Amino acid sequence: MAAGVAVLLLGLLPAGAAYPPAVSGRGGAVASAERQATAAGLDVLLAGGNAADAAVAVALALAVVHPQAGNLGGGGFAVVRFGTETVTLDFREVAPAGVHPGLYLDENGNPVPERSRVGPLAAGVPGSPAGLWELHRRFGRLPWRRVVRPALKLARDGFVVPRRLERDVTRHRELLERFPESARWLLPGGHPPRAGSTMRNPELTAVLEAYGAHGPDAIVRGPVARAVELVSRRYGGVLRAADLTAYRPVWREPVRFTLAGWRVASMPLPSSGGSILAESAAMLEPLGWAGLPRAGADRAHILAAVWKRVYADRYRLGDPESTEVGPAELLSPAWIRRRVASIDLRRAVPSGEIVPWPGSPVPEPPDTTHLSVVDADGNTVALTTTLNGTFGSGVTVPGGGFLLNNEMDDFAMAPGRPNMYGLVQGAANAVAPGRRMLSSMSPTVAWRDAEVVALGSPGGSRIPTAVLQVLLALLVDGDPLQAAVDRPRIHHQWLPDRIDAEPDALSPETAAALSDRGWTIRTTASLGEVHAVRRFADGTVEAAADPRGPGWAGVVEPGVGGRGGSVRGQATPSPPTRPSPRP
Ligand code: DON
């Protein structure tokens, strides 16, 4: 697979360039969180696959080499643009039929976070097996078995243990040790797998073989589904084989909006992502954000003020069946005018004055993963998938070699109480059987004439703000792709009432000016991990991986006369080595 991946040395950058360029070619591009997963996508493109084939291959390869977030036991969303058709696929987990809110509360009605975060009670019904199949069924070109093959090879013949896997198993050792099925696989001989060593996953190999031959029935019925039920019962869960069999992914109309003359499509409910992006973009326009200088406090002040209001509106969102408000209302001109009018350009209006609600949680660094693909024809897939927390619920399906998610924590277990991301959510997102838990994942595609961009990020509540800032840098300020991804970012989510800023995002003068206006600022190591691809009108493609993680971007170079072809890839240097101009 993609044997000829050659690393372009970033030392060859033109002197004085603030950011390195993205890797570019002419045959298709892939960006993901892991080199061997990007290589799986390039392999499929090279074999004549399209963006959907490659996206599925990358997602499945991530389930092997990046099991912290890549998965068969989780779910996700994809925004797909093929030709002029743009649709979204919702393969988000749903609550099992046997849940009721009391399962997650103590006798006083207080949430017991452990129950929605660890063990099988934390797991929603996995959507990935049927979701990836459905993406390929509707848009794929190569045979299904061929698309599964790179992941199967990685699981069967072995993959090189990424440094991040060794680090994360070490960090989350306690979680994995609670479940012998997980420890056996991820702590072989009692130790985390060593970076650079070869690791195989024989149990996942068997599952992928059956999945490649028979599709999702190989997982959602029969022995694998029974094993899910067995492990769920063993540790007190309510997830049953029948839940897996009954699960259906759903095609949904995207949330659409325009930004700087580009058309943008992102995820609708049950993700809040598209709604947050579109409402933010609609508010930034009348505030004249694009015309303000990049340096100084004004842009950051407006972004934070906008997000404070948009995330307050998120409180009323939930599954399409239970939401109290929808994008149509939140994006209506009257609502946007009202929200904009409440912004004071000289001072921060405290969150409590926007909607009175207490809360001051500390978000944990969890794990999700995003991949972006564009093929030679300009078809694109932006796909974000997750187990929620790193290694999800910690529970491995016996004989399955894959982990179950802990997505139940995305429900509002008690309205008004913060979840793992510090998000304070409302009754619209209360737990109920069959309901989809509200998400922030924001796979997004933007296009203008023949040009197209696909992007997305992990980061829980910080996903929409990371995606929006990359879009603004790219579409409003005209940054090159890699620079737009690299540029330092900030975040605000209404509650807690503070700006989170990456170390280089605000100069000392800007930070001082913001605090004079009443903003509280907290420095945070990193916000999101955006992987993006772009295709220009002339057919040139680019891929950019985020230096905040060990991601990998690659392109295909078509062979002469349509034969052969080659691939090229580049990793991104880690942030400290990179000059990051301050706004
Ligand atoms: O759907 C959501 O919004 C969360 N379950 C996503 C989790 C996440 O991004 C963790 N990542 N770093």
DSSP 86: E
Q: Is 323 a catalytic residue?
A: no
Tokens at 566, concatenated: 């080659």
Contacts of 196 (CB under 8 A, 6+ apart): 160, 161, 163
Q: Examine residue 10 and state whether it is found in any structural domain, yes or no.
A: no
Contacting residues for 440 by C-beta, under 8 A, at least 6 apart: 271, 272, 273, 276, 421, 423, 459, 460, 461, 462, 463, 464
State the Cα–Cα distance between residues 307 and 304, nearest whole angstrom.
5
Q: Is the distance from the beta carbon of residue 88 to the nearest atom of ligand 1 less than 6 Å?
A: no
414 falls in which pLDDT band (50, 70, 90)? confident
Q: Is the pLDDT of residue 574 over 50?
A: no
Tell me the backbone φ, ψ of residue 347, rounded to 5 degrees.
-145, 155
499: three-class secondary structure by DSSP = strand
Quote the ligand 1 centre to 464 CA distance (angstroms). Answer: 11
Say if residue 68 is in the same domain as residue 169: yes
Residue among 172, 441, 461, 527 whose CB has most ligand 1 atoms within 8 A, to mutate = 441
How many Å lie between the centroid of ligand 1 and the Cα of residue 468?
Answer: 16
Cα–Cα–Cα angle for 574, 580, 582, nearest 5°?
Answer: 150
Q: Are residues 299 and 338 in the same domain?
A: yes
Do 268 and 181 have their domain in common?
Answer: no
- Once rounded to an integer, what is the mean pLDDT over residues 283-311? 97
Shared-domain flag, residues 137 and 237? yes
Whole-number Å distance between alpha carbons of 552 and 557 = 17
The tens digit of pLDDT for each residue in 251-260 reads 999 999 999 9
Statement: residue 41 has pLDDT above 70 = yes
Q: CATH no. for residue 511? A: 3.60.20.40
Confidence (pLDDT) at 164: 96
What pTM was estimated for this model as a whole? 0.91
Q: Is the CB of 439 under 6 A from ligand 1?
A: yes
Answer yes or no: do 226 and 342 share one domain.
no
Structural contact between residues 497 and 307, judged by C-beta atoms closer than 8 angstroms: no
Q: Are 122 and 227 found together in one domain? A: yes
| Residue bearing the CA closest to ligand 1, atom 4 | 460
Q: Which ligand 1 atom lies nearest to the CA of residue 410?
A: 5
Which atom belonging to ligand 1 lies closest to the Cα atom of 441? 3
CA 398 to chain centre: 27
Answer yes or no: is the C-beta of 529 below 6 A from any ligand 1 atom.
no
Q: Give the strands of the sheet with 490-491, arranged side by side.
A: 490-491, 499-501, 521-523
The pLDDT of residue 561 is 60
Range of the domain at 284: 255-365+442-561
How would residue 329 be classed by pLDDT, with cut points 50, 70 and 90?
A: confident
- Does 163 share its domain with 224? yes
Query: Does residue 217 share a domain with residue 259?
Result: no
pLDDT digits (tens, 9 = 90+) for 93-146: 999 999 998 999 999 888 999 999 999 999 999 999 999 999 999 999 999 999
Three-state DSSP state, 539: coil
Q: Are residues 44 and 186 in the same domain?
A: yes
Cβ atoms of 436 and 268 within 8 Å: the answer is no
The token pair at 464 is 């929409």
> Into how many domains does the chain fold?
2
User: Distance from the CA of 402 to the center of ligand 1, in angstroms?
Assistant: 18
* 331 lies in some domain: yes
Domain match, 111 and 48 both: yes
Q: Does 5 score more than 80 pLDDT?
A: no
Residue of 386, 435, 531 with the most ligand 1 atoms within 8 Å of its CB, for mutation:
386
Q: Is residue 391 part of a domain?
A: yes
**Among candidate residues 249, 134, 484, 532, the one with its CA nearest the CA of residue 371:** 532
Task: Indicate if ligand 1 lies below 6 Å from the C-beta of 124.
Answer: no
Q: What percent of the chain has pLDDT over 90?
A: 82
492, part of any domain: yes
For ligand 1, say whether the CB of 461 is within 6 Å of any of its atoms: no
Atom of ligand 1 nearest to the CA of 273: 3
Beta-bridged to residue 350, according to DSSP, are none
Q: Whose CA is nearest to atom 6 of ligand 1?
A: 460
What's the whole-number average pLDDT of the chain? 91
Residue 193 — pLDDT band, cuts 50, 70, 90?
very high
Measured in Å, residue 540 CA sits from the centre of ligand 1 at 32
116 lines ligand 1 (CB under 6 A): no
Which candidate, 358, 393, 384, places its Cα nearest to that of 271? 384
382 and 352 inside one domain: no
